[in-house]
C-alpha cells in the first residue's frame, strides 16, 4: 500500500468491536501490518475489556486505544454495570435506556479516538481505516475524515435486508426516511460528503476464508477479496486452548459455531458438534455439517432445555448423546482430518489481493 510522501508518516487505524472471536483476528492484521509496513503509524481501537491485547500490540509497534463500552451487553449484565460507568443520571433505567446511553458514549469515544489520530491534519494521503462489521462507526468516521476504508470480515455474512426493512424503517423513523428520499443523488444526506461509490475507489472488502471452507460466490462485489488465508486471519492471537496442546487430547469439540471456535476446530482436525445461538453462528453450523465434519446442528433447547422437568432434560441429553456418537463416526473423523490437512498447506502470509 502506498505510504505517501512528503516526510509525513501515514496513519492506519484498525477498529474492531465485539467479543474475542470478532476482535482478535483484526488485532492480528494490525500487528502483521505494523511489522510489514514500518513507515506507518498504526493504531488499534477496541473495547477496554480486551486490554490483554495491549502488550502484544505494543511489541508490534501498534498503539492500543481502548473505549469503555462492553464487548456485549445482555439484560442479565445490567446489574453489574454501574450508572457512573455509562454516565447515567437515572437510578433505575430500563435495559433499552441504558443500552442507548452506552451506545451514545461509545460513539463519542470512537470520534474522540479517531480525532486524536488524525487531528486537524488536512493531508490524508496513504491513511486508511480498517473495521470489522461490528465497528461500522469507523465507516462514517472514514467518510468524515476523508480517508480510505477497508472492511475486514473473519466470518461470512450471507444475509440481505428483509423485504419489510424499508416499510419498518419508514414507520420507525419517518423524518429520517423523508430526508434520505429527498437527498441529492451524489451526496451523503448525513455528512454532505460524496458517496463512497461516487469516489475514485470504493471500500475494499476482505474476507478471511479458505476456499476449502467457503466458495467465492459470483454476487460478491468486485472489491471483495478472500485472499487472506483462514490460518492467518482466524488463528493468530486467538486464544483457543486446544490449539496450544496436542489435538489428539480432544475427541470432539462442542461449541456455539462462532467463527473463532469453528476455525480452531477445523485447523485442529477434530470432529465438531455445533449449537448456534445467533448471527453468523447459524451459517457456520450449517457449513460444518455440509463439509461433513459435524452432524446436524443442535437446537438451543438441546443444551439449555426450555423447562427443568425430567422429560425435557432427558430429551436434551439423548440428543446430545446422539450427536456425540455421530460426530465420532469414522466418516466424520476422517473428513475432519482431510480438511485440516488441506488447511495446513495453505499460505500463512497476507497475500496481495488479486487485481489490486
311 or 276: whose pLDDT is higher? 276
Percent of the chain exceeding pLDDT 90 equals: 22
Q: Which three cell numbers stand for residue 278?
A: 445467533
Confidence of residue 74 (pLDDT cuts 50, 70, 90): low
Flag whether pLDDT at 66 surpasses 90.
yes
For residues 46-54, give the mean pLDDT: 92
Report the distance separating Cα 138 and Cα 133, nearest Å. 10
Tens digit of each residue's pLDDT (9 = 90 or more) over 239-286: 333 333 344 445 888 888 887 788 888 888 889 998 888 777 888 888
The answer to which of 219-223, 294-298, 335-339 has the lowest mean pLDDT is 219-223
**What pLDDT shows up at residue 92?**
53
Map out the domains of the chain with their CATH numbers.
11-72+98-155 (3.40.50.2000), 160-198 (no CATH), 207-348 (3.40.50)
Q: In Å, how far are 52, 90, 140, 181, 189 from 178, measured between CA atoms?
A: 45, 33, 20, 5, 11
Q: How far is CA 128 from CA 41, 131, 138, 149, 299, in A?
A: 11, 10, 10, 6, 41
Cβ-contact 127, 12 below 8 angstroms: yes
- Are the C-beta atoms of residues 242 and 318 closer than 8 Å to each other? no
Percent of the chain with pLDDT over 70: 68
According to the model, what pLDDT value does residue 14 have?
A: 96
- Helix ranges (H only) for the chain are 20-36, 53-59, 95-118, 137-145, 165-172, 174-182, 230-235, 259-268, 281-291, 300-303, 310-327, 330-344
**Distance between CA atoms of residues 318 and 257, nearest Å:** 21
17 vs 321 pLDDT, higher one: 17
pLDDT digits (tens, 9 = 90+) for 90-139: 455 677 788 888 888 999 999 999 999 987 776 778 899 999 888 989 98
Average pLDDT, the chain: 75
What is the grid cell recorded at 58?
A: 505494543
Q: Which of 8, 37, 12 is nearest to 129 (CA)?
A: 12
C-alpha cell at 72: 456485549
- What residues have CB less than 8 Å from 93, skipping those under 6 apart? 83, 101
- pTM of the full structure: 0.64
Q: Tell me the per-residue pLDDT of 185-233, one tens digit each, with 9 for 90 and over.
A: 666 666 666 565 455 555 565 656 666 777 666 655 555 554 443 333 3
Amino acid at each position: 500500500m502506498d505510504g505517501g510522501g512528503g516526510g509525513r508518516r501515514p496513519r492506519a487505524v484498525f477498529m474492531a468491536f465485539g467479543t474475542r472471536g470478532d476482535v482478535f483476528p483484526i488485532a492480528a492484521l494490525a500487528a502483521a501490518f505494523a511489522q510489514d509496513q514500518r513507515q506507518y503509524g498504526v493504531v488499534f481501537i477496541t473495547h477496554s475489556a480486551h486490554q490483554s491485547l495491549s502488550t502484544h500490540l505494543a511489541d508490534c509497534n501498534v498503539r492500543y486505544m481502548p473505549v469503555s463500552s462492553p464487548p456485549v451487553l445482555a439484560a442479565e449484565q445490567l446489574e453489574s454495570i454501574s450508572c457512573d460507568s455509562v454516565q447515567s443520571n437515572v437510578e433505575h433505567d430500563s435495559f433499552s435506556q441504558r443500552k442507548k446511553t452506552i451506545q451514545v458514549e461509545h460513539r463519542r469515544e470512537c470520534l474522540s479516538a479517531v480525532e486524536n489520530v488524525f487531528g486537524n491534519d488536512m493531508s490524508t494521503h496513504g491513511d486508511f481505516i480498517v473495521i470489522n462489521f461490528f465497528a461500522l462507526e469507523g465507516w462514517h468516521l472514514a467518510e468524515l475524515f476523508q480517508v480510505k476504508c477497508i472492511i475486514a470480515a473473519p466470518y461470512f455474512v450471507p444475509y440481505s435486508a428483509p423485504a419489510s426493512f424499508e416499510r419498518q424503517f419508514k414507520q420507525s423513523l419517518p423524518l429520517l426516511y423523508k430526508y434520505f428520499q429527498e437527498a441529492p443523488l451524489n451526496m451523503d444526506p448525513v455528512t454532505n460528503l460524496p458517496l463512497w461509490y461516487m469516489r475514485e475507489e470504493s471500500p475494499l472488502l476482505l474476507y478471511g476464508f479458505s476456499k476449502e471452507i467457503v466458495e467465492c460466490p459470483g454476487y460478491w462485489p468486485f472489491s471483495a477479496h478472500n485472499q487472506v488465508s483462514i490460518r492467518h486471519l482466524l488463528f493468530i492471537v486467538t486464544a483457543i486452548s486446544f490449539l496450544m496442546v496436542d489435538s489428539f487430547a480432544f475427541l470432539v469439540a462442542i461449541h456455539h459455531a462462532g467463527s473463532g471456535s469453528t476455525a480452531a476446530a477445523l485447523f485442529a482436525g477434530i470432529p465438531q458438534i455445533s449449537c448456534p445461538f445467533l448471527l453468523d453462528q447459524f451459517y457456520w453450523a450449517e457449513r460444518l455439517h455440509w463439509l461433513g465434519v459435524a452432524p446436524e446442528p443442535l437446537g438451543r433447547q438441546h443444551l439449555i432445555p426450555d423447562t427443568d422437568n425430567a422429560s425435557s432434560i432427558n430429551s436434551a441429553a439423548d440428543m446430545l448423546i446422539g450427536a456425540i456418537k455421530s460426530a465420532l463416526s469414522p466418516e466424520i473423523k476422517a473428513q475432519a482430518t482431510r480438511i485440516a490437512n488441506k488447511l495446513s498447506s495453505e499460505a500463512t502470509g497476507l497475500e496481495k489481493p488479486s487485481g489490486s
